[in-house]
Structure 1
Amino acid sequence: MENGLGNQSNKLIQDSRRTVYLDYLPPYQTDTVNEVVREIRVADRESLGILQTVTNGGEIAFNPMEHPSEAASLLMFHTSNLYNKRCLMAYHNLRLRRIRQYCWSGGKRMESCIDTSLNQAEQEYLFRYSELVAAYKGPWVDLDLTGSLVPPKNLFIDVRVLKDVGDIETEFGTISLTKNSQLYIRATDVERLIAQGYLVRLS
């Protein structure tokens, strides 16, 4: 867009286009998102200032025919804000869709980049959505709705604990999951913990 408006949003769209072809989720673009939000707020302030001036603080109606240059500026800021907001929504929608896919995959993707790629809000979303998936799955205890249709090659997997979990009960007894520990454990016993970001699969 002209005058540099929308340039930061374009970066988000470029990042989203790359993300579509990746098997992992790139780091959240905090600085770029903040710049887009700042640009929206600046445009709002500029628009309000123009309206306050031409309407004498709201005492008279705004007539675009009498103030063509101001009307053009208002249109530019309005169009810029619409563009920026759509880009923000598209960027975040793609990331949230990837997170949901991750939850339904049973934690088989994105394990290594949860802490580095997701911001705090996304990590909270991941945790809450994983809980919803687990609750939805609850009535069908013997049916794994998040499991792959392809039979697993190995029933046991190597995992590393990213966050302290404590003790969990398995068919083979109690297992303690402490941060940075590494275990060889049955996949079905820790799939939910992997999906929630507590563990990472190593193999």
Structure 2
Amino acid sequence: MTTAEASRHAVSRLHTKYCDHGLLHGAYQPRRDRHLPSNMYGDMGVKLVQHAKRTQNLAHLPPYQAELVRAVTREVRDLDKDVKDLLEPFQGSFDPSADQAVACTLLVNHLSMRRNKRCLLAYHRTRTDKLEELVWNGSDVVDLSGQQVRDSSAANGAPTAGEASTSSLSPQEEEYVRQYSDLLAAYKGQWTDIDLTGSLEPPRDLFIDVRVLKDAGEIQTEYGAITLTKNSQFYVRQGDVERLIAQGYLQKLG
């Protein structure tokens, strides 16, 4: 069999196999996620990359796409099972030059698995970078993500149901944020006189007017303790409240 004939044979086998599994002509659906729309085989990996691209241009972190991640992971498992089924009759003695059609099929499956893996890695790396950026900016990431979900639900007129729907982070991301914050706190502890997460731009005014957006309790400043209650206003040293402004507790006026 010539190389051209082997390639045509491989394409024919792939077409037959994917049609049998409903993977062509927009018929693919994950086994358990039947509520997802029909997709061409591999399209869900593209959707993850599109979500990652959109995340790079947002100031906040959108909800974690758990359903898509599970579907892409399941595609990889299905492809791996197909590879094992193709190689099983050869009992470990497969010769690519002797059966080029099977070799081509194996190559396509292998490249598809690698592509899905890269899509998964790109999606999670983008979200990790955004989480680290928020932590360095002094934001309370877990509280901020929960507030975003609550605001979105209120805007849509749909109340949140249960703890699982009150955060835009996955449980693994919440744990990552906690551990990364602990590492950052330990690192900053070596430089007690320097706020490593503070703004690199010098303040224009030493003292500023601020409004309290949500209760923050009592804080200690250079000039004594003040109690931050919602809707109250204060004239304070900017260096004492920069972190609270970044975390969304205070709003700078003027």
TM-score (ref. length: structure 1):
0.74
Deviation at 1:40, TM superposition (A): 0.5
**Distance change >3 Å, CA 112–CA 125, structure 1 → 2:** same
Aligned mate of 2:73, from 22, 27, 37: 37
Aligned mate of 1:75, from 83, 107, 123: 107
Residue 63 in 1 paired to residue 99 in 2? no
What amino acid is aligned across from residue 103 of structure 2 in structure 1? A
**Distance change >3 Å, CA 10–CA 42, structure 1 → 2:** same
**Larger RCO (alpha carbons 8 Å, 6+ apart):** 1
**Distance change >3 Å, CA 47–CA 138, structure 1 → 2:** same
Distance in 1, Cα, partners of 2:250 & 2:218: 20
Q: Is the 8 A contact 2:83 2:106 kept in 1?
A: yes
**Distance change >3 Å, CA 139–CA 159, structure 1 → 2:** farther
What amino acid is aligned across from residue 82 of structure 1 in structure 2? R
**Distance change >3 Å, CA 157–CA 62, structure 1 → 2:** farther
Quote the RMSD (CA, aligned, Å).
Answer: 3.5
Aligned to 2:172: 121
Residue 131 in 1 paired to residue 179 in 2? no
Other structure's SS at 2:167 match: helix
Aligned to 2:58: 22
State how 1:1-203 maps to structure 2 within 5 Å. 3=24, 4-53=40-89, 55-56=90-91, 58=92, 61-107=93-139, 112-114=144-146, 116-150=167-201, 151=203, 154=208, 158=212, 160=214, 170=220, 172=224, 188=240, 191=243, 201=249, 203=251
**Distance change >3 Å, CA 35–CA 91, structure 1 → 2:** same
**Distance change >3 Å, CA 174–CA 188, structure 1 → 2:** closer
Deviation at 1:110, TM superposition (A): 8.7
Distance in 2, Cα, partners of 1:39 & 1:118: 23
- Alpha-carbon deviations, 1:101-152, whole Å to 9, x = none? 1111111889632553211111111111111111111022121000112328
Q: Structure 1 vs Structure 2: percent identity of aligned residues?
A: 34
Distance in 1, Cα, partners of 2:248 & 2:121: 29
Farther-moved stretch of structure 1 (101-110 vs 62-71): 101-110
TM-score (ref. length: structure 2):
0.61
Deviation at 1:19, TM superposition (A): 1.3
Which structure would you say has the larger Rg?
Answer: 2
